[in-house]
Structure 1
Amino acid sequence: MYSFTELWAMDLIQHIESKIKLNAGECAVINAAFKKEFYPKGTNLVQPDNRSPKIYFVEEGLIRLYYINRDGKDITHFFFGENNFTMSVENVYFNNPDPYGREVLEDSTLRIIHYKEFTDLFDKITAFRTFSFLVTIDMLKRFSDRLFSLQFQTAEQRYKIFTDNYPNILLRAPLGHIASYLGITQQTLSVIRGKK
């Protein structure tokens, strides 16, 4: 299973080759299709309710997926660290605005591709379709685990699972974002941390 941040960052091709076999020509095609861009900490890649068809791969850095609730409060939905993809499912599959924004929490190096160009790679490289399927299944599992956590676990249990699985996020993301991700107040998070 992927983590928010692997023990080491891989570039895009290393990451893909850790899941599927590619020849040098296929690697070159994929490498050319994904543009490399640098974003400084604090950059908003997209605002909530966007229509961005872009797919992002984090080579280095940390991205926060967030939404604005009915009260106008900013809520962290997910974190994406090194070796992770993020994209708008609402946009690319349903042609709806994406309710989530994406913010860069650290200086980050991203590989970016338009969804249409991404799917064009399926026709050029058969194994790339398999890779896409593996990434999709991984994301479904992660979001399913998150939903289960919010519905059935206590704040202390959510915090323990978070720190067990993603300890470096505590060092990289503001506590307010972590608290909202866990579905608790920052004060509650401080109390839980104080007990540890």
Structure 2
Amino acid sequence: MLADVNQFPTIQSKHSKIFTLFIKIFGITMSLVILVTAVSMIFLGGVTKIRLEIRILLAIIAILLIIFITWLLIIQFKNNSQKKVTHVIVDREGLHHYRNEELIKTINYNDLKTAPQNERYDVFFYNPPESEAYSDLCFYIYDEESKMAVRKAVFFEGDTVITNGKQLLAHFIKGIVLFRPDLRIDPNLFEIFKI
């Protein structure tokens, strides 16, 4: 653990172009398979001897699938153009999301708050009951609208695969320990991130 505040290094996210390309190609391929299946249901439904009601139902389902996938693609392109995060940095101020050189979102160590009375820790992992494998690094931040501390989670909002995400989270926790010693951190985090 670093003891000197002045020696706290800056860590930047590393991205895997190969994994990102694989995921995008897989998504496009699956969308095309669904579209081809939907279109073939429309055209091949008239070739085979299927009752008219079933053909109409297949055509409606196919058209709805095509509309749904088109809608998802439009939303995906809109979101990518507006919130495209190119890199994430953890430094002595906190965790920052950037689009090229423009700062999009930041979580400053000074903005972190103590948990409400009924919570044990201020920084912890939250495991949703429906998912044993997935968990979020959570903390509390003051919300102006509700006038109270609310739970937030760390999300790396990039459209590429970040290969050093665990290292970024561990460094963020080290920063909390160093710059915000007043916050209670779940001891399991030190074991999980080997801090």
Give the TM-score normalised by the residue count of structure 1.
Answer: 0.29
TM-score normalised to structure 2 length: 0.29
Structure with max Cα Rg: 2
